[in-house]
Structure 1
Amino acid sequence: MPAVKLRLAQGTPCWFSLMTDDLAGARAFYGELLGWTYTPGPGQLGDYVRAESAGEPVAGLGVSSVAGFPVQWTTYFAVDSADRTAQLVRECGGTVAVGPLQAERAGRLAIAADVSGAVFGLWQGEEHTGREAGPEPGGPAWAELLTPDEAGAAAFYGTVLGRPVAAADGGSALLVDGRPVAGLRPGTELRGHPPRWRVHFAVRDTGLTARRAVELGGRVLVEPHATARGRAARLADPQGGHFSVLEP
């Protein structure tokens, strides 16, 4: 009998997916920078691969089917029902752009935007339950929302995901079983960019990773600096996808 896979608790950031216009280039960049290898993803998602670190899936990379769609990382939250949660998104003033739809036997997904326009995903895991953030190098370490309306975002995500939001260093945090799983911060760093969820990947040495990103054709957007969660840097891949690295 196959082992039963337990879905992560509702509200937990469980997957991070990059939509890019150059999948081969993205695979090469992140493979060299974070040590990722790749396996095919669900065929229904088009040209899509799963990135693995130490043999475990940590993220997805795919090609956007929408012309002019910006290269960006999307944070997915575990939900018990993608259909029910997507309806809550609409009722709370957000929009649902994709789905809910079935990704073969991996699970059911939807892509939505909150009231300020920040894009995020919903993932009802089945065969693929996703990956919870942790300190292991190469894997996801943290997710945070930069928004011009922190109070509105806290009310939106608290209602949609059915989880409390509490005050935290420099902003708020979404809580699951009493522990912070994602941050919400005032968007003072947006500088004309739309509100967005930012993914952080764990690395052993933030400074070394930032220098290597430049060597591989990427850019350093914010130099390595100390944060409450460790030493971080904000980077961009050669195609323009923004992400952060964190030395926990």
Structure 2
Amino acid sequence: MTYTFRPGDPCWVELFTPDAERAVEFYGELFGWTADIAEEFGGYITFRKDGNAVAGGMRNDGSDGAPNQWTVYLAAPDAKAVADAAPDHGGRVLYEPMPVGDLGTMAVLADPSGASVGVWQGGVHPGFGSFGIATGGVWSDHVDYPTWFELHTHDYDRALTFYRETFGWQDPFTVSDSPEFRYTTIHSESPMLGGVMDATPYEPAGSPSAWKIYFGAEDVDAAAKRVVELGGSIEMEPQNSPYGRLAAVVDPSGVRFSLGGDPR
């Protein structure tokens, strides 16, 4: 679907991988993605589904110590202004704003809990050509597309302040604020696009905060099994939740992502 991104909306995802060729093969087999390679941008990969740009990717040669991971990019009308504001709210600039031809301007930050997050000021490339919006636990219309973007943080209150003040989130909605489950969505009305979860009750002390990406699956169990067949692994077996059937998986290069589908 087409969507006009508001400031702070997730607008792009990007894979940093040590084996770009295997990533193209893996995600092509799993999601039916095709891949365009732009040699003028260092072999940058644009993954497509049904002709729509759905994700990016590039080889990690290990030279700068960056981890292999999926990165979520949030939309910004002015990437430099966002990067300049980040330190005032407890964040750090990992990569200074940099123009990418006429496509747009990128930067990468670390939020107060250490989670990395991209900044994208769109030019001729505004972000997703199409993506899914999973609301109310309904995922079936969003198969093989990025569908939900979720920060698991161990510094929940500071993280929310950071994203409000740095990226301009205007109307986040608190889903739950009990000690057992603290969760806030990016917007208060549909499409909510993603959220922030206090990971402290669920993850071991010292585990890193991170943005997580969910891709829609017609059959989560079958998709998780396919991940293993293609050389990946399952981190969390498929299970039903109030928000659909979910699984956490790992690609052949060790990069984590999640699958979401309609409950069984």
- Quickly say closer, same or farther: Cα 1:115–1:236, change in 2 above 3 A: same
225-234 vs 152-161, which moves further:
225-234
Look up the match of 1:220.
234
* Inter-partner Cα distance in structure 2 for 1:18 and 1:38: 13
**Corresponding letter in the other structure for 2:209:** P
Confirm or deny: 8 A CA contact 2:172 2:188 kept in the other structure. no
Look up the match of 2:50.
54
Look up the match of 1:246.
260
- Quickly say closer, same or farther: Cα 1:28–1:197, change in 2 above 3 A: same
* Inter-partner Cα distance in structure 2 for 1:179 and 1:160: 21
* Inter-partner Cα distance in structure 2 for 1:158 and 1:228: 27
Taking structure 1 as the reference length, the TM-score comes to: 0.91
Confirm or deny: 8 A CA contact 1:14 1:78 kept in the other structure. yes
**Corresponding letter in the other structure for 1:18:** L
Q: CA deviation at 1:8?
A: 1.8
Look up the match of 2:194.
182
* Inter-partner Cα distance in structure 2 for 1:127 and 1:41: 15
- Quickly say closer, same or farther: Cα 1:196–1:42, change in 2 above 3 A: farther
Q: Does 1:140 align with 2:136?
A: no
Look up the match of 1:15.
12
Look up the match of 1:37.
34
Q: Deviations over 1:38-59 (max 9, x none)?
A: 0124734x23101001110100
Out of 106, 109, 113, the residue aligned to residue 109 of structure 1 is 106
Q: CA deviation at 1:177?
A: 6.5
* Inter-partner Cα distance in structure 2 for 1:116 and 1:27: 31
The residue correspondences of 1:184-223 to structure 2 (distance < 5 A) are: 184-187=196-199, 188-191=201-204, 192-223=206-237
Q: Deviations over 1:95-154 (max 9, x none)?
A: 111120011111111011101100000101111111254342111100001111111111
27-36 vs 64-73, which moves further:
64-73
Q: CA deviation at 1:160?
A: 1.1
* Inter-partner Cα distance in structure 2 for 1:143 and 1:50: 19
**Corresponding letter in the other structure for 2:184:** S
* Inter-partner Cα distance in structure 2 for 1:222 and 1:6: 31
**Corresponding letter in the other structure for 1:166:** F
Q: Deviations over 1:176-225 (max 9, x none)?
A: 76752221111144434310000001111100000000011101100111
Confirm or deny: 8 A CA contact 1:222 1:234 kept in the other structure. yes
The residue correspondences of 1:92-131 to structure 2 (distance < 5 A) are: 92-131=89-128
Tell me the matched-pair count.
243
Confirm or deny: 8 A CA contact 1:11 1:79 kept in the other structure. yes
Taking structure 2 as the reference length, the TM-score comes to: 0.86
**Corresponding letter in the other structure for 1:229:** Y
Q: Does 1:161 align with 2:167?
A: yes
Identity %: 33
Confirm or deny: 8 A CA contact 2:151 2:210 kept in the other structure. yes
113-122 vs 5-14, which moves further:
5-14
- Quickly say closer, same or farther: Cα 1:81–1:228, change in 2 above 3 A: farther
* Inter-partner Cα distance in structure 1 for 2:77 and 2:44: 24
* Inter-partner Cα distance in structure 2 for 1:152 and 1:246: 28
152-161 vs 162-171, which moves further:
162-171
CA RMSD after TM alignment: 2.0
* Inter-partner Cα distance in structure 1 for 2:122 and 2:72: 14
* Inter-partner Cα distance in structure 1 for 2:164 and 2:184: 11
14-23 vs 225-234, which moves further:
225-234
5+ long unaligned stretches in structure 2: 134-140
* Inter-partner Cα distance in structure 2 for 1:233 and 1:92: 33
27-36 vs 131-140, which moves further:
131-140
**Corresponding letter in the other structure for 1:204:** E
